[in-house]
Amino acid sequence: MSLSPLADAGAPLQVQRLTVAYGLNAPVVRELSFELRVNEIACLLGPSGCGKTTVLRAVAGFVPLLDGRIVVGGREASSPTHAEPPERRGVGVVFQDYALFPHLSVADNIAFGLRRWDARERERRVGEMLQLVGLQGMARRYPHELSGGQQQRVALGRALAPQPALVLMDEPFSNLDVDLRERLSGEVREILKASGTSAVLVTHDQHEAFAMADVIGLMHEGRIDQWDAPYQLYHYPSSRFAADFVGAGVFVRGLVRDIAGERRISIALGDLDAGALAHGTPGQVVDVLLRPDDVLHDDAAPMTAAVVRKLFRGAEFLYTLRLDSGEEVLSLVPSHHNHAIGERIGVRLEVDQVVAFPVGAG
């Protein structure tokens, strides 16, 4: 099979038409391609079983390729006929099943990749890493004396210590409590940015992906559905799958119309301007995406809807509202607007970019 020439030989990672299968089973990753820029943090996001971890394992050198090619730092690391051993790829990994060395202390685990460093530099770097992952005072403990979350932080320190050009992280913060998770993900992002390191992260958590990533690869059934900045992915989903999977929202029915030469979409809440992201031609029935922040509560609005569910989130309520059409929409409302279930409240739309897909489109 012929592969396209490298688009950017200086890219820290190029994944070209990657195809991976376990044993004789059907491939779980199919012809998947992406390229990472220097100092870019990418996140693979997608439903369980879509192949995120498999991509990361292939890049790390833990699973063979059925087809395609992986190039790390301009050097071919994997092809169907060749595989550099994981430890020679110059890649730092934080995987859940990539255990710490049980016979080494926390400090020695972190120092593992620094064997060739000058002793004083090594000690300084280990101290820096211990501080980064919040494990000062635990340097002499052994892995079995740590909680799962603490072990994960040691693994993070171990991966980052040798300052690799590329770091791979599989759910690196999943065992941590929310506060630590937020602090650490912000700090790790800063460290990666400051040190010029590129990273690929796998997570289930969209908020973590939004907070950490420059670019998100949304995966679906072994392929990348959309490769985009978090903001773009949320506001400009290019497929129905992306619109559905990323962020909260519902689809309501709409009819595309031509009104005085302008393409508009009529939905139960009124007429919308059909911009470039609203697929569909006049006369076509479409599903229109409405995010909770598109539906505003406004006492002065002529249109009302009934509260059917409410979720208190502290600063705001997430209301589920039933329109007269019978359709339900979500609305994010500041929490001093405390309305009872069954009450009718005024609503209006504020949609910047209408996202719509013809009914029945995949």
Report in angstroms how near the CB of residue 20 gets to ligand ATP at its nearest. Answer: 8
- Percent helix, strand, coil in the chain, to 5, is 25, 35, 40
Name residue, tokens 């087809």. 67
What part of residues 156-215 is at the interface with ligand ATP (CB under 6 A)? Answer: 204
Is 52 a binding residue for ligand ATP by CB under 6 A? The answer is yes
Q: How far apart are CA 295 and CA 345, in angstroms?
A: 12
Report in angstroms how near the CB of residue 245 gets to ligand ATP at its nearest. Answer: 12
Q: How far apart are CA 353 and CA 59, in angstroms?
A: 37
What part of residues 101-130 is at the interface with ligand ATP (CB under 6 A)? Answer: none
User: Which part of the chain contacts ligand ATP (CB under 6 A), choosing from 4-12, 50-58, 265-273, 277-285?
Assistant: 50-58
> By C-alpha distance, which of 356, 175, 168, 155 is closest to 275?
356
Q: How far apart are CA 290 and CA 272, in angstroms?
A: 12
- How far from 337 is each of 291, 331, 362, CA to CA, in Å? 19, 12, 38
Contacting residue, 43, 50, 106, 138, with ligand ATP by CB under 6 A: 50
User: Which part of the chain contacts ligand ATP (CB under 6 A), choosing from 41-49, 73-81, 145-153, 285-293?
Assistant: 41-49
Is 53 a binding residue for ligand ATP by CB under 6 A? The answer is yes
Q: Which is nearer to ligand ATP, 46 or 254 (CB)?
A: 46
Q: Which is nearer to ligand ATP, 54 or 197 (CB)?
A: 54
What phi and psi values does residue 221 have, to the nearest 5 degrees? 45, 50
Buried b (16+ CB within 10 A) or exposed e, 5-33: eeeeeebbbbbbebbbbeeeeebbbbebb
Buried b (16+ CB within 10 A) or exposed e, 303-331: eebbbeebeeeeebbbbbbebeeebebbb
Is 22 a binding residue for ligand ATP by CB under 6 A? The answer is yes
User: Which part of the chain contacts ligand ATP (CB under 6 A), choosing from 47-55, 151-159, 190-198, 209-217?
Assistant: 47-55
Number of residues that bind ligand ATP (CB under 6 A): 11
Report in angstroms how near the CB of residue 183 gets to ligand ATP at its nearest. Answer: 24
Report in angstroms how near the CB of residue 25 gets to ligand ATP at its nearest. Answer: 6
Report in angstroms how near the CB of residue 220 gets to ligand ATP at its nearest. Answer: 10
Report in angstroms how near the CB of residue 171 gets to ligand ATP at its nearest. Answer: 7
Is 54 a binding residue for ligand ATP by CB under 6 A? The answer is yes
Task: Give the contacts of 130 (CB within 8 A, at least 6 positions apart).
Answer: 106, 107, 110, 136, 138, 139, 157
Length of the chain: 362
Report in angstroms how near the CB of residue 203 gets to ligand ATP at its nearest. Answer: 9
Is 51 a binding residue for ligand ATP by CB under 6 A? The answer is yes
Report in angstroms how near the CB of residue 149 gets to ligand ATP at its nearest. Answer: 18
Report in angstroms how near the CB of residue 351 gets to ligand ATP at its nearest. Answer: 32
Is 28 a binding residue for ligand ATP by CB under 6 A? The answer is yes
* C-beta neighbour count of 93 within 10 angstroms: 24
Is 49 a binding residue for ligand ATP by CB under 6 A? The answer is yes
Q: Which is nearer to ligand ATP, 14 or 53 (CB)?
A: 53
> By C-alpha distance, which of 326, 318, 321, 289 is closest to 304?
321
Is 48 a binding residue for ligand ATP by CB under 6 A? The answer is yes
Buried b (16+ CB within 10 A) or exposed e, 274-298: beebbbbeeeeebbbbbbbbbbebe
Beta bridge partners of 334: 316
Q: Which residues bind ligand ATP (CB under 6 A)?
A: 22, 28, 46, 48-54, 204
